[in-house]
Amino acid sequence: MDNPDKPLIYLIVGARPNFMKAAPLIRALEERAPEIKSLLVHTGQHYDYEMSKAFFEDLDMPDPDIYLGVGSGTHAEQTAKIMISLEKEIFDNRPDLIVVFGDVNSTLAASVVASKLMVPVAHVEAGLRSFDRTMPEEINRIVTDILSDLLFTTERDAIENLRREGIPDEKIHFTGNVMIDTLLTFADKARKSDITERLGLSDRNYAVLTLHRPSNVDVPEVFDGILEALAEVGKNIPVVFPVHPRTKKRLAEFGFLDKFSSDFRTPPAERGILLIDPVKYTEFLALEMKSLFVLTDSGGIQEETTFLGVPCLTLRNNTERPVTLEVGTNILVGTDPHRIIEESAKILRGEGKKGAIPELWDGKASHRIAKIIKTKMEEQK
C-alpha cells in the first residue's frame, strides 16, 4: 500500500505536444524520486486516437490515472470545463505540486486552478515568447509563467523574457529541452519505421508539411496562398502532409479538397502533395529524419528539425523559439507564397540552412527537472 505521507504530484497533459514532453519526466521521476507519487491527469483536450492514445502506446506511457474528458469547444468553454473538473480533483486529493507542459489551454487552466487552491505549479517549457498576443498560446504562456513556482526553460532567451516580466531568478531553472530527451530515446525505433517505404518516399527526396495554427488555416485567403505555394513546391518534390484535425475540418469547409485534388497523390509518391492522417510520434520522427526539409507552423517541430539538422521553413512571421533561428536550421518564411516557393527552391538546389545543437539539448533535461522537483518536495515537507 502507498505511504499516505508520500508527496503527491499531478502531471497535467491534454494535447498532442504535451505527451512527448511528459513521457521522459514520468520515467525520470520514477527513477530519481521513487518516494514521490505522481498521477498522470489527461484533460481530454485532444481525444482522437491518433492525437492522443497513439502516443501513449508509442511512447510506452502509462494510461492516465485521471481522465477529465473535456473535448473541444471555444477557448472559454474548453478552459472552463478543464478548470471545473480539475478543481474538484485537486480539492479532493490535495497534490503537493502540479506540473504543466508547454502552452496549450490545458496548461493555462491547470495553472489557474492549482494556484487558487494554493498548490504550487511547475512549468516545463517556461519563458518562451512570440511577442504576439493574437496567438492564443502567448496568453497561455504569460499567465502560466506568472503563476508558476518552478520555471524550467529550454533556451537562454526564455530566461531573459522571464526576468523582464519580474520573475525572480530563484524560480528559474535552465534545464534544457525534454522533447529532445524523447527524440533521443525513440530515435532507433524511428529509424526502423517503415513509414517512408509504405508511402513510396525515398530518403532525402521528399518534404514534410504540417499546419494547424488558426492564423494560417482558419483564414481562407491565407490557407489558400499556402496551399498554392505548396502545389508549386510539389511539382519538384513530393510533400507529405499529415493533416491535423483542425486543418482537415477547414480543408473541407473551404472546399479546398476539391480544388487541390489533382495535386494529391496516392503512393508511390513522385511529386505532389500527399495527404495522410496524423501519424504516431516515431513515424513522424522517421518522416522528419529522412526528409530533405520540413515546412511547418508547429512549435515543437521547429525544435526537432534543429536537433536533427534538417532545414525547416516556418510558415509564420515570428517564433517563440529564437534559438532555432540563431543556432539551428530554422528560417521564418511567413505565408507569402513567393517566399515559400523561393526558400524551398534554395533547399532543392542544395543551399539549405545548416545549424548546430542548442545548449542543454542533450537528452538529460527530464533528469535535471526531476532532481529539482525532488528537492522542492523535500523542502515542502
What residues make contact with ligand UDP under the rule CB under 6 A? 16-17, 20, 210, 242, 278-279, 281, 284-285, 298-301, 304
Q: What 8-state DSSP symbol labels residue 96?
A: S
Task: Tell me how far, at minimum, the Cβ of 115 lies from ligand UDP, in Å.
Answer: 23
Cβ-based neighbours of 207, under 8 Å, separated by 6 or more: 233, 237, 238, 239, 240, 291, 292, 293, 294, 295, 344
278 binds, among ligand UD1, ligand UDP, none (CB under 5 to 8 A by kind): ligand UDP
279 binds, among ligand UD1, ligand UDP, none (CB under 5 to 8 A by kind): ligand UDP
C-alpha cell at 10: 499531478
- Measured at the CA of 225, the angle between CA 321 and CA 279, to 5 degrees, comes to 55
51 near ligand UD1, rule: CB under 6 A: yes
156 near ligand UD1, rule: CB under 6 A: no
154 closest CA partner among 380, 374, 328: 328
> Residues in contact with ligand UD1, total (CB under 6 A)?
20
Assess contact for 124 and 179: CB atoms under 8 A.
no
Contact pattern for ligand UD1 over residues 60 through 79, marking x by CB under 6 A: ------------x-----x-
Stretch that binds ligand UD1, among 13-21, 154-162, 317-325, 331-339 (CB under 6 A): 13-21
C-alpha cell at 271: 511529386
Q: Which of 123, 173, 212, 244 is catalytic?
A: 212
List alpha helices for the chain, DSSP H: 16-32, 53-58, 75-93, 105-116, 136-147, 156-164, 178-192, 195-199, 214-217, 220-233, 245-253, 256-259, 281-290, 299-308, 323-326, 337-348, 365-380
The only residue of 43, 45, 144, 216 in contact with ligand UD1, by rule CB under 6 A = 45
Contact pattern for ligand UD1 over residues 350 through 379, marking x by CB under 6 A: ------------------------------
The only residue of 64, 200, 245, 267 in contact with ligand UD1, by rule CB under 6 A = 245
For the CA atoms of 345, 350, 355, 361, the dihedral, rounded to the nearest 10 degrees, stands at 90
- DSSP codes joined into one string, 38-70: EEEEE--SS-SGGGTHHHHHHTTPPPPSEE---
Assess contact for 113 and 14: CB atoms under 8 A.
no
Residue 42 annotated in active site: no
17 near ligand UD1, rule: CB under 6 A: yes
Residue 147 phi/psi, 5-degree rounding, is: -90, -10
Closest to ligand UDP by CB, 229 vs 301, is 301
123 binds, among ligand UD1, ligand UDP, none (CB under 5 to 8 A by kind): none
Closest to ligand UD1 by CB, 48 vs 165, is 48
Closest to ligand UD1 by CB, 72 vs 375, is 72
Instruction: Show which residues are catalytic.
Output: 212
Binding region for ligand UD1 (CB under 6 A): 15-17, 45-48, 51, 72, 78, 103-105, 136-137, 212, 244-246, 249
